[in-house]
Chain A
Amino acid sequence: MFIPHTDQEKEAMLSSIGVKRLEDLFTAVPEKHRFPKLELPDGLTEMEVLDELKDYSSANETAGDLVCFLGAGAYRHYIPAAVNALISRGEFSTAYTPYQPEISQGTLQAIFEFQTLVANLTGMDVSNASHYDGATASAEAGVMAYHNFRGKRSKIILSPAINPQYKEVMCSYLCGYENVELITGGKDPFENPEMLPEEIDDNTALVVVQYPDFFGRIHDFTNLAKKVHESGALFTVIANPTALGLLKTPGAMGADIVVGEGQPLGIPLSFGGPYLGFLATKNELVRKISGRLVGETVDNQGRRGFVLTLTAREQHIRREKATSNICTNQGLMALTATVYMSLLGKSGMKHVANLCYQKAHYAAAVIGKIPGFKVLDEHPFFHEFVVKCPTDVEHLNHHLLDAGFLGGFDLGKVDPRLKDHMLVAVTEVITKEEIDDFAVALKEAAHD
């Protein structure tokens, strides 16, 4: 299988080492704890393990079989066949972090291209090589802001309309820093995030908003960014990359740091991971950035090449003084996004974003006509919107499931004030007919 040694080879190797048996290599292990019997099921052949895993896989009923109106941070998009063909290449997938640039130019150039695409998509100057996901990238933006003010500004204010899981992760990361105060409140969950938070003061390091926000709404944050800067703080936008194919960039609004979840860029839903965090910023803040960066240079014959650069920020050099502990990040997912963005290109990115926009607005219009349902559309939205339902969302989703639909996210699960509110996501993979059928099923479910 995966261990190639024959018995003869093993014996020859033991003799070269000067021991008799494999067991003799483990005498440093305390005897009473040596060679425990592991209570695990016996090993399977490849054929058997595939059968077992197929059983588990088919025990699920997924967004592949059902028509999916569920988003809330993870989105079903079409993934072109060329994406998987390229990222499955062992030359990419079985390499590691490009510590040796002479034999890692493939990975390095791909990351360099990823950095460029992310910077251009977000309207920023530079991007790093990736983070674990959108939430940890957001947390790292908080860490950057903290370091930028050398810990002297300790308040980080999150807009109420940020994905609640992101708030939790940011708290896990940031609450360890001395005096950091994370404000995640908001009296009204639908409070307009364009308004300057009343808590802002000269002790504020960072203000964070989401775009489109957790409820799918889109805002122009230009004025807010200006006011945040007037108080001396930094401004971060958590952005959805699909939306940026069409919409004004956070860079153009004045963001200092733009982060987000790259899953919509060709990465399968895969029950929540592996996904892709991205982080882009301005040139002025590049030395405060966490994680890996690839830079262009030349070799000793003058040929263009790429290397990991500014490594003095990182844990393997600076240890306890590093900007972050991040080491392994999401290399292959960054490559996935790079291939996806290259394939879609200028026109494809815009087209997919527009399809999402159109279909979501059609869905909102159709659902808004069902008696008892109200679409909260006072603000413009992108591809996700909130529906106030006449009854419990879990109940509705149960009925929708029977009709072949994965219903929207039950907002009551994350905020009791939002009981009976469903967050509906619509992407390019959904057809008009499916939207019409969904509306019929929703109407029937409400009357059951």
Chain B
Amino acid sequence: MEHKLVIPSTVDGSHELTITAWFKSPGERVQKGKDLVEAVTEKITLYVPAPVNGVLKEILAPPGSKVMVGDVVGIVTETQEDH
């Protein structure tokens, strides 16, 4: 099952964020709750965790991309054995 990685509303929705780092590459395993992507706005660094245990399928917003709250920045595939 695929899960969208969404920029959370922890930050104000009117501010643009810049993706500054991905801690995993596509194809690598990810662990629920562990930092997966870093985004910055103003003087705020936001760490977005993996939503489930699985594999990072796709990065939709590579470093340098401008994103907003609610944007989907990546896809994580939850694998059967991870249930």
- B is a partner of A: no
Residues of chain B at the chain A interface (Cβ within 8 Å): none
